[in-house]
Chain A
Amino acid sequence: MLKSKLLLGMCLLLFSAGAPTEPGYMVGDAVKDFELKAVSGEMVSLDDYDDAKGFILIFDCNTCPYSQAYLERIKGLHAKYSDQGFPVVAIQPNDPVRSPGDSFEKMVAYADENGYEHAYLYDETQEVTRRFGATNTPHVYVLNKDDGKYVVNYIGAIDNNTRSAADADKKYVEDAVDALLKGKKPEVTKTKAIGCTIKWKAS
């Protein structure tokens, strides 16, 4: 009995290799800066944004239908909030071997086709994604600059209606950023949504 449990455990470990084992950042945690390659070809860090009061950081990709459903809303968030100091930074976490439509070349083409104004970064090693504890796309982390550190203030979905922005009566990310802009803490700090799993590299 014990032996078979051990065996099963080993099998599970084997099969789940590559999936994150750390829980990732929680609300209230300060995040470590990173340097990732953007579709523009430049290397981008959070510190590059001199005027940022915070960030709407979104783990996002080309291929997930839920990312596609939120595409215009993500662009809208950047249009609305970048001038107010909360730009959108999107990070593509998927392994292109498992998800060929998410290769760097395809990211470049996708951002171009869709007129991305926001940064679209490629987390080739998946280290940043792992550190954040992102699980699906699109998965949002609202960061607020606090004493020189970027602190997580909200984790979760963009709003409560994937199908249609007009029918969403809870706009979680907008509410969180609006609160931060007024110097307040967001009321809702964590939500969940259906999304596509992040395609981790097979190790």
Chain B
Amino acid sequence: MRIFSLISLFCLVIITTASAQNNAEVIKFDRLENLINESGENIQVINFWATWCAPCIKEIPYFEALPENFKGRRLKVTLINIDFVEKLDKVNSFIERKNISSDVLLLDNIDYNSWIDKVDKSWSGAIPATLIVDSKTGDRKFIEGELKEEELNNILKEFIKS
């Protein structure tokens, strides 16, 4: 009986772990602002995307590969999703389908003019867009538009070096 309970418990743990998938967290702008201005040792790579944006979806795997490509560089990738908040289920099933492991935050603020300039003054609002911040030095780099994999890796190599 006891062994049976133990086995059941073991199975339960396995099932729970396996089903603990990555989900998008719904946030307001202050949370993103904190992330951009975070202090610490991380290089923050913050990518703006939406499930309806084909060029965004194309480049997500390149962002997913960054922590592995830059092992030991304390690189943190955050995917800021700007789908409407009522599309949360769609965003989560996308995360599951594509097996996305980076943090995904759904920014629930559609008064875009109130925050686009706070991310970067040069941003028109078109996506994809990417902000790279060195939390230690405060150095920033902002890129509007789609990136190819090699291009993204080169930008980061240069950013880390400088």
Contact = CB atoms under 8 A, between A and B. Distances in A.
B110 A156 contact: no
Contact of B116 (A4, A192, A196): A192
Interface in B102-148: 110-114, 116-117, 123-128, 144-148
Interface string B56-68: 0000000000000
Contacts of A179: none
B151 interface: yes
A191 B113 CA distance: 6
Ordered nearest first, which 10 A-B pairs have the shortest CB separation? A135-B124, A136-B126, A197-B126, A192-B116, A191-B113, A65-B52, A192-B125, A193-B112, A194-B112, A160-B111
B146 to A, nearest CB: 7
Nearest to A198: B126
B21 interface: no
Interface centre among A12, A193, A197 (most CB of B within 10 A): A197
Given A65-B52, A160-B113, A193 B145 contact: no
A30 to B, nearest CB: 22
Interface of A: 1, 4-5, 8, 11-12, 15-16, 19, 65, 135-136, 156-157, 160-163, 170, 191-198
A160 B112 contact: yes
A197 B146 contact: yes
Interface size class of B (residues with CB under 8 A): 20 to 34
A194 B84 contact: no
Nearest to A5: B158
A16 B145 CA distance: 9
B145 A197 contact: yes
B91 interface: no
A26 to B, nearest CB: 13
Contact of B113 (A163, A193, A196): A193
Contacts of B69: none
B102 to A, nearest CB: 20
Contacts of A136: 124-126
Contacts of B161: 1
A162 B110 contact: yes
